[in-house]
């Protein structure tokens, strides 16, 4: 299949990165001078199971899609990158003819910068993209969606792991726009009296007091955690309170920088210097604050793993990035030679040890696939990708088919089309999104 046709089909199907910020995939596939296509199967965050399931059960389908993408990119090789412990997944992929590269079982092995360095020995420039070193990376679910797009099937579902403090953990294939409360019901409800809900992995996903968020193209997990856990305490602490604490509690012990995964990769990111700058205005130089752009949000710097004073440089970095972008500051860094920290092999955060530190070791890390979710109503946010939100193409009262295009990005803007995940009648159109109710529930 020619590159232009692959790109067109991927755009028309609304494929975006399924495991991160939702970068429109058709844009990545326009890259040239690429020699390596990597499929990220490391499934970085603890307790997630969707990519592992797809690699075991859909290996031949994934391999065929990977070869098509490799050809479209003009790349010399396509490699699935998985953790050494994923033995069944490796066997399934290799039986399907796929080439597999193996990584250690540490967090955050799925960070693109780390993944690329491990497999190719190349280091993405600070503030740069994998394209700069001749690499394109998709995760496994994104590749699955690409394969479906090549068959003319749009993205209307996400593979979502429901785990943590629930009675029946599982993996479900979920229509976009399904409320998290529905998944909680399918999993038998929480087993804790004071549950909190995580939209994604425990280290990087946002925490919610109620299961009132929606499944989108980037959803991969609903985790239920006890309110007494350190995870909840750190991730829900008021940011102003945390910054105040940084002023008097940060002891400049340097442990956040010692643990920083991007610092170990060779990047000039020193979270302890950023925390010092927040405490002392005279230390707030642009050079120090701009380091926040290099943060991958892995969260190893926080009290969850490194900080003895229970602070979270990661959350400070998140706010700094927002503030800097609002001021027009861009993540541009001078070119320099980057080498991994010589102590990196000895400072990697073991996934098993991290699970124990986070209080997650008792939860089921390998829940079974429990099928496709059936719903009578969905609410589709118009922003499910990086870039401009979609503009609605339907009005209240319209009847739509499943898979019908119901939203498109503005002309010339970064984005991807949105498709109905349910056949039914449009009941609401707003700036937030579209509500669709199944016609069979009417009357």
CATH number at 177 reads 3.10.20.600
* Ranges 40-44, 115-119, 162-166: which has the least confidence: 40-44
Largest CA distance in the chain: 68
In a shared domain, residues 179 and 51: no
If we measure between CA atoms, which residue out of 232, 235, 199 comes closest to residue 381? 199
Give the pLDDT of residue 241.
Answer: 78
Q: In terms of domains, do 259 and 401 share one?
A: no
Indicate if 203 and 55 belong to the same structural domain. Answer: no
| 188-212 pLDDT per residue, tens | 999 999 999 999 999 999 999 999 9
- CATH code where residue 432 lies: 2.40.50
Same domain, residue pair 142 and 176: no
Residue 69, C-beta contacts closer than 8 angstroms, at least 6 positions apart: 6, 29, 37, 78, 136, 138, 143, 146
Average pLDDT over residues 290-312: 91
Its pTM stands at 0.95
Asked whether the predicted pLDDT for residue 442 surpasses 60, the reply is no
CA distance 230 to 36: 40
CA-closest candidate to residue 202, choices 47, 425, 418: 47
| Distance spanning both ends of the chain, measured CA to CA | 47
- Residue 310, pLDDT score: 83
Residues 124 and 25 both lie in one domain: yes
Q: Which two tokens stand for residue 33?
A: 């001078």
Same domain, 343 and 397: no
Q: Considering 150, 172, 194, which residue would you say is the last residue of a domain?
A: 150
The tens digit of pLDDT for each residue in 54-109 reads 999 999 999 999 999 999 999 999 999 999 999 999 999 999 999 999 999 999 99
353 domain-assigned: no
Whether 365 and 324 map to the same domain: the answer is: no
Predicted pLDDT at 365: 74
Residues 94 and 10 in one domain: yes
Please tell me whether the peptide bond between 262 and the residue prior to it is cis, using omega within 30 degrees of 0: no
Find all residues with CB under 8 Å of 152, minimum gap 6, and list them. Answer: 9, 13
Q: How far apart are CA 250 and CA 279, in angstroms?
A: 8
Same domain, 219 and 73: no
On whether residue 305 sits in a domain, the answer given is yes
In a domain, 32, yes or no: yes
For the chain, how many structural domains are there in total?
A: 4
Q: What is the dihedral of CA 378, 383, 384, 387, to 10 degrees?
A: 170
143 part of a folded domain: yes
Q: Which domain holds residue 366?
A: 157-229+360-372
From 110, 126, 150, give the residue that closes a domain.
150
Tokens 């039914």, located at residue: 424
Burial 153-191 (b: 16+ CB within 10 A, else e): ebbbbbbbbbbbbbeebbbbebbbbbbbebbbebbeebe
Do residues 168 and 141 share a domain? no
Whether the predicted pLDDT of 441 surpasses 70: no
Asked which of 110-124, 174-188, 359-373 is least confident by mean pLDDT, the reply is 359-373
Average pLDDT over residues 291-296: 96
- Report yes or no on 205 lying in a domain: yes
Give 424's strand partners. Answer: 400
Structure tokens at 415: 């984005």
User: Which uninterrupted H or E stretch holds 345?
Assistant: helix 344-347
Residue 250's pLDDT band, with cuts at 50, 70 and 90, is confident
Q: What is the CATH number of the domain that holds 64?
A: 3.40.50.11540
Q: Band the pLDDT of 285: cuts 50, 70, 90.
A: confident
In a domain, 50, yes or no: yes
Token match 């529930």: residue? 441
Residue 310 lies in a domain: yes
pLDDT in tens, 124-174: 999 999 999 999 999 999 999 999 999 999 999 999 999 999 999 999 999
* 392 and 365 inside one domain: no
Does 74 reside within a domain? yes
Asked if 145 and 218 sit in the same domain, the reply is: no
């Amino acid at each position: 299949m020619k590159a232009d046709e692959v790109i067109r089909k991927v755009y028309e199907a609304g494929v975006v990165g399924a495991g991160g910020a939702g970068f429109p995939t058709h844009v990545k596939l326009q890259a040239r001078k690429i020699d390596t296509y990597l499929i990220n199967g490391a499934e970085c965050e603890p307790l997630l199971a969707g990519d592992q399931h797809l690699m075991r059960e859909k290996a031949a389908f994934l391999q065929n899609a990977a070869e098509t993408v490799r050809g479209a990119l003009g790349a010399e090789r396509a490699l699935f990158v998985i953790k050494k412990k994923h033995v069944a997944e490796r066997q399934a992929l290799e039986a399907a003819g796929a080439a597999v590269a193996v990584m250690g079982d540490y967090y955050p092995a799925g960070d693109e910068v780390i993944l690329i360095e491990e497999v190719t020995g190349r280091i993405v420039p600070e503030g740069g993209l994998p394209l700069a070193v001749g690499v394109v990376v998709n995760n496994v679910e994104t590749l699955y969606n690409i394969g479906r797009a090549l068959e003319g099937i749009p993205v209307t579902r996400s593979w979502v792991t429901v785990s943590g403090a629930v009675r029946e953990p599982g993996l479900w294939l979920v229509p976009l726009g399904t409320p998290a409360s529905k998944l909680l019901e399918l999993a038998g409800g929480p087993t804790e009296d004071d549950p909190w809900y995580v939209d994604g992995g425990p280290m990087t996903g946002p925490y919610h007091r109620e299961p009132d968020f929606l499944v989108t193209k980037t959803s991969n997990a609903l985790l239920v955690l006890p309110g007494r856990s350190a995870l909840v305490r750190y991730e829900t602490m008021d940011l102003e309170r945390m910054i105040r604490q940084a002023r008097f509690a940060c002891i400049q012990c340097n442990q956040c920088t010692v643990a920083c995964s991007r610092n170990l990769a060779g990047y000039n990111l020193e979270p302890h210097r950023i925390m010092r700058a927040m405490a002392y205005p005279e230390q707030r130089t642009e050079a120090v604050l701009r380091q926040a752009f290099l943060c991958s949000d892995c969260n190893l710097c926080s009290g969850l793993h490194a900080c003895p004073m229970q602070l979270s440089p990661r959350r400070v970095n998140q706010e700094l990035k927002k503030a800097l972008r609002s001021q027009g500051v861009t993540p541009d860094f001078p070119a320099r030679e980057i080498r991994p920290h010589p102590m990196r092999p000895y400072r990697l955060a073991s996934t098993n040890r991290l699970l124990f530190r986070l209080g997650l070791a008792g939860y089921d890390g390998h829940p079974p696939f429990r099928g496709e979710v059936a719903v009578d109503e969905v609410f589709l946010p118009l922003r499910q990708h990086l870039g401009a939100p979609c503009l609605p193409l339907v009005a209240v009262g319209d009847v739509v088919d499943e898979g019908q295009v119901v939203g498109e990005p503005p002309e010339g803007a970064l984005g991807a089309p949105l498709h109905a995940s349910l056949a039914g009648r449009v009941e609401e159109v707003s700036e937030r999104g579209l509500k669709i109710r199944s016609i069979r529930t009417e009357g």
